[in-house]
Structure 1
């Protein structure tokens, strides 16, 4: 049965699953595969060295899918920041109507994109940041729990609380990000008020993801405890796969007497992290991964994964609905009969304890 949420209707997709923008991962091969499977694929703008390279990647992706896909722009502090305006202009000129934004001071970029009629999905790690993004006119919020990969924020609020707070206090639709890998997670997110989910690490571990197979094997072998937080000292907390380099970065950060970022900078080089995805040496540099790695046990195609998520979510929602009854019917099971005046005879507290009350 097709899903019908604000996300699927607004974006024109079949399954309310978004592939988050990931540096060095969000290429046309992955984005088109996710879109062809019925979700929303996302190209990562800054993975491309120049705006014109992004234009070429958009056109490549368009040749690989006729379904909607989007582009991510993440604005982060840098000594020599990219020309975000130029990337935004290419997005507009190429007719992309869905953009995922994230990072610091996105106002000018969001304004430019909104004036061109783009649908904006903005990633936030706190309700305070979400409220600020609403004032900028974004269409959806992507609520990122502390479980997520990459930049987790400084508040350490996990999704179970953060999504419920979003449901209580946010006036625009939102999707859930961080800790999602299966249909049970999608069903849970919908139950908590989200219109869909965003998955990054799970899509890294698919056949079409442009990363070395040994990286995917490392994700499959990992537990949920195999991530490492770094850069908290500089209020730029980032969740990484817990390899040797990430653990050494954490040690240097903790023991540094100068407190200067330069002490840890060689360990968190993005260039070395990119090489990991190419050469397959998972300890060569740092790379981001969420705690969801503990839930990932295979390397499917995007089509297999998205269809599985759809099936699992439907089954989970149906099972939850079956737990309700109207108070008049009598439901029978091997444990006993449930009705107005009957109880489960094997229930420890009710069936045994009641006689002692």
Structure 2
């Protein structure tokens, strides 16, 4: 009988298993061999490992996600060709940040704050001393598998497949719509290509001089178009035998993510009811909490559609309270303000949605137009 148990070691399955064990030992939750549809090429593709850590902070679950490709090559080294990095290129984003969230506060941060990527990377580097996310010192612009025996170039197929599978899997995960409105979450994604072989960097100093060194890790920031959308991606190449060393850095990234997103969400809610734009941003969530109780407290005499359309939350500077305006008759407004149970539900909704626990009153919109 052939030595199947020995020959299987020449495949990448053993590598994938060993990476799983390391991840489990560091308390990462693992999903193996996840398949997704590549709608560009009409085929189904596989990502070797999806691993994540998650923690509930306040009312939101914060996920740090690793998408991992595992490759083994006994005959060929992975060779990365680099040049001096040009950080002043205005058309290149050296700090890509990929996030998926259904949280309005974080969405506002992403959409409004142009420098969130820069702020995030500086937070990791300066405040947490996590160097794995530092700006690249080399611009990797090409790669090639080359023979360990004589250095002959082979091709870039396996490296390219590893990179594109990671980028496409990330795009798929970000586009997923499974997170429900009541289950707030934010996902931060990291792409890792693990190679069980030699990892070599060729650095082009000029047209004639090329230096060569064996390395254990390197990052590549690249541009790619997926589903007609151009974006930048960061991929970390890591040799298999040092993966645990670098995983400790991702452990720390998760801890930093908890602080980064909490800090930014806390800042979002400071004096929020004095900010009309933010009030409007969260108003649908507030309505979702109070619409049914309001309908009941009014003895079913209001229109839910009218309340949804005309309700306004206005900060009363003189009274230092929130006035909740409705386009309803005064007797209905009085009924709402006199209902202890409804006022309790309103207070709970204001605290849950706006983190506000001060005074409030329902008022009639007496504007003539």
Structure whose CA Rg is larger = 2
The TM-score bracket by the shorter chain reads under 0.3
Structure whose residues are more often helix by fraction: 1
Q: TM-score, normalised by structure 2?
A: 0.24
Q: TM-score, normalised by structure 1?
A: 0.24
Structure whose residues are more often strand by fraction: 2
